[in-house]
């Protein structure tokens, strides 16, 4: 088997793990895919994150079901409702719910811009919304930093609130493209839902 074919197989298996099994991290999914396929962990066998992302979109297009599409729309609807609820913090949608790569267990990921992280924490507490606090390593404008995020559930849907400084101008670097992440505001998400409702 050629290296190119091996990379393709690893990308497709990693895409399956991310889309169907609830894996969140591209690197972990690629490592597990390599293990599942019994191929060498040599770096030359590893597809890029972009390869895996394209494999997810191809999988959705070729093997996606009506249920998958409904799931994506449901995640976007939850994101919209959360954005309306959190409007004071200037929320924007990012990730799989925006670009269409969200799988069965994908969260709705929102970037918020409060004056302090505590402002969002107190807001959720005042509204009796249980949540968990976490941190994640993020690269912004070439610098790696730890960013706080909150996690809560709306019915069976997970919502992640990533908390940036108020007035922060730079979007984090995408693990897929290496460029600044695409973001979408409230009106854009409303338009996205309307557009898909007409399709």
Three-class DSSP category at 157: strand
Which of 29-33, 46-50, 73-77, 166-170 bottoms out in mean pLDDT, i.e. has the lowest? 166-170
Query: Tell me, what DSSP letter sits at residue 156?
Result: T
Is residue 198 predicted with pLDDT exceeding 90?
Answer: no
| Phi, psi values for residue 185, rounded to 5° | -80, -175
- Tokens representing 149 are 């995020």
**Tens of pLDDT along 40-60?**
878 888 999 999 999 999 998
Q: Report pLDDT for 169.
A: 74
Domain ranges of the chain: 3-63, 66-198
pLDDT at 199: 58
pLDDT in tens, 70-112: 999 999 999 999 999 999 999 999 999 999 999 888 999 999 9
184 has pLDDT over 80: yes
pLDDT at 2 > cutoff 90:
no
Tell me the percentage of the chain whose pLDDT exceeds 90.
73
Q: Could you report the per-residue pLDDT of 128-142, keeping only the tens digit for each?
A: 999 999 999 998 878
Residue partners of 189: CB distance under 8 A and separation at least 6: 76, 79, 80, 83, 93, 98
CATH number of the domain at 66-198, out of 3.30.460.10, 3.40.50.1220, 3.30.365.10, 3.30.310.50?
3.30.460.10
Separation of alpha carbons 181 and 73, rounded Å: 21
Residue 176 has pLDDT above 70, yes or no: yes
Q: What angle do CA 93, 55, 145 make, to 5 degrees?
A: 45
Predicted confidence at residue 91, as pLDDT, reads 98
Q: What is the pTM of this model?
A: 0.90
Residue 12's Cβ-side half-sphere holds a number of Cα atoms within 13 Å equal to 11
Task: Tell me the backbone φ, ψ of residue 91, rounded to 5 degrees.
Answer: -70, 145
């Amino acid at each position: 088997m050629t290296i190119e074919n091996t990379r393709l197989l690893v990308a497709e298996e990693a895409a399956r793990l991310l889309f169907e099994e609830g894996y969140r991290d591209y690197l972990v999914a690629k490592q597990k895919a390599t293990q599942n396929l019994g191929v060498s962990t040599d770096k030359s066998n590893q597809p890029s994150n972009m390869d895996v992302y394209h494999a997810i979109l191809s999988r959705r297009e070729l093997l996606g079901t009506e249920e998958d599409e409904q799931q994506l729309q449901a995640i976007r609807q939850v994101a919209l409702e959360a954005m309306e609820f959190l409007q004071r913090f200037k929320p924007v949608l990012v990730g799989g719910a925006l670009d269409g790569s969200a799988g069965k267990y994908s969260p709705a990921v929102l970037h918020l811009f409060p004056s302090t992280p505590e402002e969002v924490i107190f807001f959720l507490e005042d509204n009796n919304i249980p949540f968990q606090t976490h941190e994640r390593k993020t690269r912004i404008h070439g610098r790696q930093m730890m960013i706080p995020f909150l996690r809560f559930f709306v019915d069976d849907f997970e919502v992640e609130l990533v908390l940036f400084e108020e007035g922060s101008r730079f979007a984090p670097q995408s693990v897929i493209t290496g460029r600044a992440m695409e973001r979408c505001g409230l009106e854009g998400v409303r338009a996205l839902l309307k557009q898909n409702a007409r399709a």
